[in-house]
Each structure stands twice: as C-alpha cells, then as structure tokens.
A = this chain, B = another copy of it.
Amino acid sequence: MSELLDHLRSTRLVDHHVHGCWPTDGPRDRFENALNEANTEPLPAWDSAFDSQLGFAIRARCAPLLDLDPHADPDDYWQRRTELGEAEVAARFVGSAGVSDWLVDTGFQGETCGPERLASWSGSNARTVLRLESLAEQAVAVGGDYPATFDDLVRARVDDHQAVGFKTVIAYRTGFAIDWSEPDRAAVDEAARRWADQGGTRLSDPMLLCFGIRTALKIQAERGGLPLQVHVGFGDRDEDLQRTDPLLLLPLLREPIATEASIALLHCYPYERQAGYLAQAFAGVHLDVGLAINYLGGRSRDLIARSLELAPFRKLLYSSDAYGPAELHYLGAELWRTGTAAVLDRFVTDGDWSPADARRIADLIAADNARRLYQL
C-alpha cells in the first residue's frame, strides 16, 4: 500500500454534503433502486442495478465489511444484508467511513435517519445544512409578508439547528439560466402569493428561487460562515442536466452579493472542469466531485484527477452525497481515499509534486478546507 493511502486511511474526513441512511429494514427493491441516482422507476426485468460501476464497487469494497469475500454474488450480498438487518449494516458502514464531521442536508429525509444517528453510529459530529427550498415551502405556509417571513424563518432555523450552511436545489427546479438580478420586494411577495394559491409545494418560480439564494448570501455576509451549497450536474432525471452547467452561474457570481461569497459547487459531473474554472475565477467558489465518485466506482480515479486541474487546491472538498443505503456513506470515503492516493502518488512519481505536498494537499481536501469554510 502506498504511504499516502496509509496516511489517508488514518485521516478522518469532513463529509461536507451528505444525507441520512436507512435505520430500518426494507425490501430488496428499495435497495436496488437506491443504486440508480437518475432513474426512480423500477428497472426492467432484464436489467440489474448491480451491473453498474456502483454495483461492482459495492461488491468489491463493501462486501468485506459484511464478512463476505470481495466481489460477492449479488444474491449472497442481499442475503447477508438481510441477515444482519439494516441497523447493523448501517452501523458497520457509517462507523467505518472514517468521517469526523457529517454535514447533513436534512431537506429531504424520506426513510433516512437524522444527523444525530449518523453521529452516534460513527462516534463523530453531525451538523445541519438547511435546504433553502424546503424553508421557502415552510415560509409560504406561514402566510403574511413573504420576504420578511422567509428572512425571519431562515435566521430562526439557523439558530435552532446551529446550522453550518445552506443548500439550494435550484438545479432541479429551473436550472441556472435565470434572471439573477435583485428582485423587487413587492414582486417577490406577489409571486409568493401566486405560489401559495397553487398549493405552495415544490417551489419552481425563478424569482422566488433567486430571492431565497440572495437571502442566504445576505445572511452569510452578515454572520460569516454559512456557505451556500449549490447542487450542480448529475442528479435525477427530472433535471435538465444541460441547464446545470455551472458556467450558467456566471451572471449570479458577477452580482456584488456573490462575487466574494462562500459557495460550494456540489458534485458537478460531467461539468467538473467547468466548476474548476469557476473555483479559480472567484475567490469564494469551492467544489467537490462527490456523488459521482460512488456512481463511477472503478472509474472515479479519473474524475478525481480531472477535479485537480484548474481548481486551486484550497477550494476542493470531500463529500459522499450518500442517501439511503449506508454502503454509500462508506464507499464514498473509501473510493475517495484510494482514488486520491493513486492520483497524487502519480504526480509524485512523475516529479510534479513532492511527497510532502501530496500529503498536505490530501489533508486539505480531506478535512482542512471544509473546516475553514464551515468554521468547524
């Protein structure tokens, strides 16, 4: 094993964007469907979620934690999982991820556990990231003057949860090619009324989405910390993936409120090189290539390498974006460690980096950059 990988195995990570895992048993369908990020429909009979890079990575790297041989057969894997029960499976994987801090997006919880459970299973810390669109749905339900209500509610939730950041899923709602200029207060209120009249669910009005993001950036500017996480790229099929090219965020980033703001572009596949450009161009822009690391499995090494192009090294973060099966909470960390060690060892072998620099930059991405950004 490389010395660097050895070092990373003993380094605890900050998983700066993650969700809960399932604490209770569920059917095989739930598990297999969770191995496909983009398609939420059942697979055809001729297909198998295991026949994918993620499925192979789970069999290769997760099976041993369930006392199976690497590359265990899918049926054997599922049987062993069932024997142990979801809670034991979760405890093993979450406990083995080597994560010191889970920053948990609690905006969409489904059957998954909350931050406390992740923390207790791993003997580490868990903090809350607030999803702006969920807060908007709460604010519109309150009624009254929407701009003031939303602003108050966001501040209150930050305090209630001692939240460490905000997240927006505007990628899933309109994509990034919207009008990012400051909306008129009265127009925001009127748009909120229209939205309330339509039921006030699943916010997709571009002006209200923009208002939510601007409110978060304003609170960040006042209080410090509280970076804005922006889902970018690969996600489920409701998304117009081509409208989530992070370059479409340029008009926002050029707005005075955003140019120096702390922003984390999440995941970014297949636009990780474009995200790296933004991280070089704007002082506060950071990025990770989580989520896709899990889905690319044996190909994640190349993705990690591409994330190390234009992006300054103090702008790179680690995340798993795990949701549901706790394999994802572990696997993200495992693939990141092995992939990063392989990529950085290669830089050293080629004479491009010193061994000391490789270790230092690995530590920055593993945890130190996130500690600085989120003021942990």
Contact = CB atoms under 8 A, between A and B. Distances in A.
Contacts of A254: 237
Contacts of A240: 247, 250
A38 B280 contact: yes
A250 B241 contact: yes
Interface string A332-376: 000000000000000100111110110001001000000010000
Given A39-B280, A41-B283, A56-B347, 9 more contacts: A37-B280, A43-B283, A44-B284, A60-B352, A234-B277, A241-B277, A296-B310, A298-B352, A302-B305
A295 interface: yes
A97 to B, nearest CB: 19
A218 interface: no
Contacts of A314: 46-48, 51
A236 B282 CA distance: 10
Contact of A56 (B36, B245, B310, B357): B357
Interface of A: 36-39, 41, 43-44, 46-49, 51-53, 56-57, 60, 70-71, 234, 236-237, 240-242, 245, 247-248, 250, 253-254, 269-270, 273-274, 277, 280-284, 292, 295-299, 301-302, 305-306, 308-310, 312-314, 347, 350-354, 356-357, 361, 364, 372
Given A270-B274, A270-B277, A237 B36 contact: no
Nearest to A280: B38
A261 to B, nearest CB: 12
Nearest to A372: B46
Contacts of A354: 60, 70-71
A306 B298 CA distance: 11
Nearest to A36: B280
Contacts of A308: 53, 298-299
Nearest to A311: B52
A150 to B, nearest CB: 29
Contacts of A41: 283
Contacts of A56: 347, 352-353, 357
Contacts of A51: 312-314, 361, 364
A138 to B, nearest CB: 29
A364 B46 CA distance: 12
A287 B147 CA distance: 47
Contact of A39 (B250, B281, B292): B281
A44 B314 CA distance: 11
Contacts of A52: 280, 312-313
Contacts of A280: 36-39, 52, 295
A8 B195 CA distance: 58
A273 B274 contact: no
Nearest to A342: B350
A308 B296 CA distance: 8
Nearest to A238: B254
22 contacts: A36-B312, A38-B280, A47-B283, A47-B314, A52-B280, A53-B309, A60-B351, A60-B353, A71-B354, A234-B277, A237-B281, A237-B282, A241-B247, A241-B250, A242-B247, A242-B248, A269-B273, A270-B274, A270-B277, A298-B350, A298-B353, A302-B306
